[in-house]
Amino acid sequence: MDFRIRTFTPIWTGDVKRESIKFRDTSIIGSLRWWFEAIVRGLGGYACDSVGEEKRKLDVEKYKKGNKPEELICPVCYVFGTTGWSKRFRLEIDGELNRLPFVIVKADERKGHRGWFLGTRESGGLMGTSEVKVYGDSWIKNVLALSLNVSCYWGVGATTILENTNSSIPKYSIYLQIYFTLKKPHFSKDDDEFYIIDNPIIKDKVFKLPMVRPTMWKGALRFAAIKVFEDWIYEKLNESRIDKETVFKERARIAKLFGNEKDSQKDYLGRLCLLAIGGDLPTGEKLRKEIEKINKEFEKWLTDKKYVSKEVPSRSGRLFFYPTFFEEISLDVITPLSRETKTPVRGPIYFETVEGSKGTKSIFRLLYYPFDLIARGEFDEIEKEMKEDLKFLAKALKKMFYEIGFSAKKSSGFGVVEPINDNDVKVDGFKSDEVKDILLNTIHQS
């Protein structure tokens, strides 16, 4: 199998000196392996951590006794190799990529632009065209072609979070941008141990700009989605009890969008399911047992519907998040008071925040990609599921932005935003006009 790589933006690799000098076969193999792991896990399969302690090694003694290698190592290790087992293909690169100067700037369109970095030819990424040849069995080539197709959209090499190596989005995916202005300050706690105050805000490591990490967006939106599920249950209970199939189908939407449920959230979701199905909750030890029972039934339901596999009950979500950057940092202060005397119990506590200012907008970005439906070939279901998922997602976005907030100190009202206008929402990709209508109609719904 021969194919040609033509770069649209720089590819970043690295050698022992941490320099991006040459496009090596190990660079593309590493990216292909990473994406194949994501595909396998997203479809509910098992892929070991290739660099962690749980990495599987081929048990040579069992192999000599007749055990098949695919029974002893995970599918990814079977294709790409592991200790005691070589990869099932050979990859060769013919042609050199050029090393070019570069500029990195903030990913927004605001005025007062700050925070840029001008690189040189010696520190630049790789650009150009290169021929790649793959030797191996036909089914191996099909696996590599799938991984390559995904990696060409999402990036090859390092620093793909900066969108260095893609120029478009995958087919059937939706890229959403929401421009927003903070109504209340945003606060988060950085892990910088050496700082002038005890509560610094989370910042970008390079330019020291205040930011919201992708993981923070995912956690805040997941929490809002759970609250949407809770609201749905109480609304339905006003009419009648809800059958178990309907409850599980709605709960599964959270897993499909965000991936595995967190242990800390399973009990709460189990309580909601019991309430929806039974109309009330037992107490004490019986409640704990009923929660465990309903959660096990839900896990079996996910397996029966093929949302997760029997071997490894896990999956990735269909939502992929990007960071958000702000421009200015403010300083706030609180002084804890005694409940009895109303006098200060300790000195003032300083913490950094980001405050909204008129005319200044930040950008929330995410990508919706139903990779599991695409990999299973269920193309007829994509549009139907997409509309259902996005209606649910729009409700969660509305609750996060307007009610709950995405900041720390949510109970104090931190992290909510001003009303979002039609021009603040931009959608690209599959059925973009319909998707935008769904989002706006839900966000503006009173």
| Residue 81 neighbours by CB under 8 Å, 6+ apart | 87, 88
Return per-residue pLDDT of the chain as tens, 446 residues. 777 777 666 676 666 565 656 667 777 788 888 888 888 877 777 888 766 555 567 788 888 888 888 888 888 888 888 888 888 888 887 766 665 544 444 444 444 444 444 444 444 567 677 778 888 888 888 888 878 777 766 666 555 444 443 446 777 889 999 999 888 888 887 776 667 677 788 888 777 788 888 999 999 999 999 999 999 999 888 877 888 999 999 999 999 999 888 888 889 999 999 999 887 888 888 998 999 999 999 989 988 888 887 766 667 889 999 998 888 888 888 788 888 888 888 778 887 888 876 667 889 999 999 888 887 778 888 888 999 999 999 999 999 999 998 887 777 778 888 899 999 999 988 888 999 999 999 888 86
- Residues 352 and 438: their CA atoms lie apart, in Å, by 36
Q: Any alpha helices (H) in 180-283, and if so which ranges?
A: 214-237, 244-258, 263-278
Question: What values do phi and psi take at 384, rounded to 5?
Answer: -65, -50
Q: What is the DSSP string of 105-116?
A: --SS--SS----
Q: Any alpha helices (H) in 67-213, and if so which ranges?
A: 69-72, 75-80, 138-154
Are 305 and 252 in contact by the 8 Å Cβ rule? The answer is yes
Report the pLDDT value the prediction gives residue 118, as an integer from 0 to 100: 43
Are 127 and 100 in contact by the 8 Å Cβ rule? The answer is yes
| Residue 27 neighbours by CB under 8 Å, 6+ apart | 11, 13, 156, 157
Bridge partners, 179 (sequence order)? 363
Q: How far is CA 47 from the centre of its chain?
A: 18
Residue among 318, 300, 219 nearest 264 (CA): 219
Question: What values do phi and psi take at 101, rounded to 5?
Answer: -65, 165
* SS3 assignment, position 317: coil
Strands 425-429 and 174-180: antiparallel
| Residue 421 neighbours by CB under 8 Å, 6+ apart | none
* SS3 assignment, position 291: helix
Residue 397 corresponds to which amino acid? Answer: L
Are 119 and 104 in contact by the 8 Å Cβ rule? The answer is yes
Residue among 122, 149, 157, 224 nearest 10 (CA): 157
Largest Cα separation within the chain, whole Å, is 79
Read off the DSSP letter of residue 323: -
| Residue 246 neighbours by CB under 8 Å, 6+ apart | none
- Residues 225 and 397: their CA atoms lie apart, in Å, by 8
How many residues does this entry show for the chain? 446
Number of other CB atoms surrounding residue 229 within 10 Å:
22
Give the number of C-alpha atoms closer than 13 A to the C-alpha of residue 86, restricted to the C-beta side: 5
pTM of this structure: 0.66
* SS3 assignment, position 121: helix
